[in-house]
Amino acid sequence: MKKYLPLILILTIPVSLFAQSDQEEKEILTELIHEFLEGASYNDATTHDRFWAEDLIYTGSNGNRIFKSDIMAGVNQNPDRSVEPETRYSAEEIQIMIFGETAVVAFRLVAEFTDPNEADLNFYNTGTFVKRDGEWRAVAWQATSIPNENE
């Protein structure tokens, strides 16, 4: 057994380093999601440009498929970022799976309105990210509306 101990250590060390790396990537992606949703609350073009990959395919909860150029065109229609947002977005129940330079992120997005007469909206979001040039970017996105309990 003693002669196999160095071999066992050599084989287990990379596995533990890989697991630590995955955990670090999950933390980076979690932070990226939170930063994105804060910026999206303000409809910030820089935030959207950083988050979405150029080759993004986005399927919205309404069933429409759009691309990064569509998102950026919509964001740039309302350049006044100084007003307090009417909707704040947050992420709950975040789950992340890492597959090398690819990651799948799923979470419940909560849209909270400043108008007390409007009920919060909830969506399941699933994004596929690819790490390019050291940065995670969303290349595919799917949003599904979660019906309100009162409906």
> Binning pLDDT at 50, 70 and 90, where does residue 43 land?
confident
Q: Assess whether pLDDT exceeds 90 at residue 6.
A: no
Instruction: Say which residue, 79 or 58, is predicted with more confidence.
Output: 58
Cα distances (Å, whole numbers) of residue 54 to 21, 94, 113 = 26, 24, 30
> Binning pLDDT at 50, 70 and 90, where does residue 76 land?
confident
Please give the pLDDT value at position 148.
Answer: 76
Instruction: Say which residue, 23 or 1, is predicted with more confidence.
Output: 23
Residue with tokens 């890989």: 18
The full set of domains in the chain, from first to last, is 5-146 (3.10.450.50)
Cα distances (Å, whole numbers) of residue 145 to 17, 80, 83, 129, 137 = 38, 28, 27, 21, 23
To the question of pTM greater than 0.85 for the whole model, the response is no
Please give the pLDDT value at position 10.
Answer: 58
Handedness of CA 104, 14, 133, 43 (dihedral sign): positive
Taking the CA of residue 103 as centre, how many other CA atoms within 13 Å lie in the half-sphere pointing to its CB? 28
> Binning pLDDT at 50, 70 and 90, where does residue 2 land?
low
